[in-house]
A and B are shown apart, each in its own frame.
Chain A
Amino acid sequence: MSKSTTDPIATAARKPSMLQQNLVEFWYYFSASKTAVIGLAFLVGIIFMAIFADFIAPHDPAAQYRDCLEQAPAWGADKCNFLFGTDYVGRDMLSRIIYGTRLSLVAGGIVVLLCLSLGIVCGLVAGYFRGWVDTVIMRIMDTIMSVPGLLMALVLVAILGPGLLNAMIAISITYLPHFVRLTRSSYITESSKEYVIASKVAGAGKFRIMFITILPNCMAPLIVQGTLIFSSGILDTAALGFLGMGAQPPTPEWGTLIAENRDLMLSAPWTVTFPGLAILLAVLAINLMGDGLRDALDPKMKRS
């Protein structure tokens, strides 16, 4: 018994250096994958673009240049200089896409935050209490998973009403089961380990055990899952926007931009091509980074 009680104390004393060591080790594994670093760099670039959209965007995303309707991409011309062209009312596509970055990143981020916070609480509660509480929570999650995500999100948006915020809430609910299951299973694995028994013996309360003792040791798979859901959240927000159930025009959300210009896709293909390319690149960058994170953080998972 003495061994298991001294261990956490020793670990606590070494904490700062441990954290540093972990970070160095993490970066060592993460940077081993060049593609993951490229993904990260690209993502940082996108975030930068979203924050400084006001300075980077060449035009106001809502300004309508009536002399330049459906203008093809052009640069260096005397008149109607739009790098990505303009849409049917003469709005600059590039600026709309740059401002759309904000909405998509925020949407993806909020989906991840909602999923993580709700998922962790539900998963910990299910894992700690077990019994009927566990059964009820897990059966609810099974139910959510038995309906395709996009259909579930559509139904939820029908109840909540179309809009970006409601789309984010709906999408978060459809991805919640992944987080609850992950948290619960890692909680159950961890809870039988010695350091948990030690902290119970030392008189820790249930919330301390759940959130302070065990949770930090369950975080690695959750972070990896969070990255994957970040990209799925962006994709699904865009899909709902495309179907007319997410952000509403004239909001320059990427999916909504594609839906808005769908009628022009043959006469002005750039109005559809560029927003979709933006979605693809953002999602790809996050997925590349996610792959690297998985390899670096979670050696249990297969390297693929």
Chain B
Amino acid sequence: MFSFVLNRIALLVPIFFGVTIVSFGFIRLLPGDPVVALAGERDMTPARHAEMMAKLGLDKPAWQQYFDYVWNLLHGDFGTSVLTNRPVLDEFLELFPATVELSVTAMLLAIVIGVPIGIFAAVKRGTIFDQGLMGLSLVGYSMPIFWWGLLLIILFGGIWGLTPVSGRISFLFDVETITGFLLIDSLLSTDDGAFASAVHHMILPTIVLGTIPLAIIARQTRSAMLEVLSEDYVRTARAKGLSPLRVYGLHALRNAMITVITVIGLQVGTLMAGAILTESIFSWPGIGKWIIFSVFSRDYYAVQGGLVLIAMIIMSVNLIVDLMYGLINPRIMHTSS
């Protein structure tokens, strides 16, 4: 077990350095004079230029710049935003809960709807239900989610006026930040209706962000179930006269879940990419919107820091999924260590 965990962590080290090389290279490869690109000042005197070069550490040899950069990263210094003059890590941590909140609700939606759909389609294999549901899931999988978001805004926000179309909560409420997760904070606050408002604001972004994971989970659950349903123990369970609910829900699903959990874990990257689009459509104040804003306002240190932080988060989640997979299915642990 221990060597399995160590083995998996050791695999991450080269990827971490790879990501740092990419993010370090990103700043160096930007077109134009790096000082102008990073500091955003024009028409500098040569003296000011040299001063900025020294301040940004650009006057040192490249290998030393890289070494300093990684050293700073390992000490929690992810650079300073040129725009706000605040540490990138602080900005990131401030906005991160909003993205996590949205991603978690989207994932829950995808699991709660996707897994039953997958099971149902597998049990009804080849029928019109199966074909219809799988057709729908392929449509979901092919959906340009930025368009899907706008379409929902037009329908629910514009024509029917049912839901708010931007932000996390109505401006009427001033909820004190305790956890950063607005659903929790608004429950804790004394303001009546704050929680309802927060939930109301989450509906559309959750649907939009959850659509692709939902489609993937439904399809994968179906194929995992199909595989399990042909196993002997399922046939035995059926022959024993167990109720379908017990056969499918207990015997089959438990074994199909191994595949499903892996698929769920692998969706973290999809969620982050989706968050960039979803958050910018719904003005959701999270990491995705912040990254896009930073790219557009040429706040390159923020982009660089965000890149490394997001990559680290995805690597950690993948590691956790890997370890969990090892726990659920001990065969994996023994073959790889």
Contact = CB atoms under 8 A, between A and B. Distances in A.
B292 A154 contact: yes
A151 B273 contact: yes
Contact of B138 (A269, A275, A287): A287
Contact of B142 (A139, A242, A283, A302): A283
B154 interface: yes
Nearest to A235: B144
Nearest to B146: A242
B150 A147 contact: no
Contacts of B219: 304
A243 interface: yes
Interface string B166-183: 000000000000000000
A68 B303 CA distance: 43
B265 interface: no
Contact of B276 (A151, A273, A276, A302): A151
Contacts of B315: 146
B142 A284 contact: yes
B276 A258 contact: no
Interface in A261-301: 262, 265-266, 269, 272-273, 275-276, 279-280, 283-284, 287-288, 291
Contacts of A250: none
A108 to B, nearest CB: 13
B291 A243 contact: no
Contacts of B29: 159
A244 B142 contact: no
Given A159-B29, A239-B146, A147 B227 contact: no
Interface residues of B, number: 49
Nearest to A285: B142
B71 interface: no
Contact of A283 (B134, B144, B222): B144
A275 B148 CA distance: 12
A18 interface: no
Interface string A78-108: 0000000000000000000000000000000
B15 interface: yes
A258 B153 CA distance: 14
Given A142-B14, A147-B314, A304 B223 contact: yes
Contacts of A143: 15, 18-19, 21-22
B15 A158 contact: no
Contact of A148 (B154, B223, B310): B310
A266 B144 CA distance: 19
A273 B141 CA distance: 18
Interface string A214-242: 00000000000000000100010011001
A151 B309 CA distance: 12
Nearest to A281: B142
B233 interface: no
Contact of A272 (B147, B270, B310): B147
Most buried by B among A151, A272, A275: A151
A272 B150 CA distance: 8
A150 interface: yes
A265 B150 contact: yes
A244 B280 CA distance: 12
Q: Which 5 A-B pairs have the closest CB atoms?
A: A143-B18, A276-B147, A150-B273, A148-B273, A304-B223
19 contacts: A143-B21, A147-B307, A149-B269, A150-B277, A158-B300, A159-B26, A159-B29, A235-B142, A243-B276, A258-B146, A269-B154, A272-B147, A275-B147, A276-B150, A276-B151, A280-B143, A287-B138, A288-B138, A302-B227
Given A154-B276, A272-B154, A304-B219, 18 more contacts: A140-B18, A146-B314, A146-B315, A147-B22, A148-B273, A150-B273, A151-B272, A151-B273, A154-B291, A158-B26, A159-B26, A238-B146, A242-B144, A242-B146, A244-B296, A265-B150, A276-B147, A287-B141
Interface of A: 35, 139-140, 142-143, 145-151, 154-155, 158-159, 161, 231, 235, 238-239, 242-245, 255, 258, 262, 265-266, 269, 272-273, 275-276, 279-280, 283-284, 287-288, 291, 302, 304
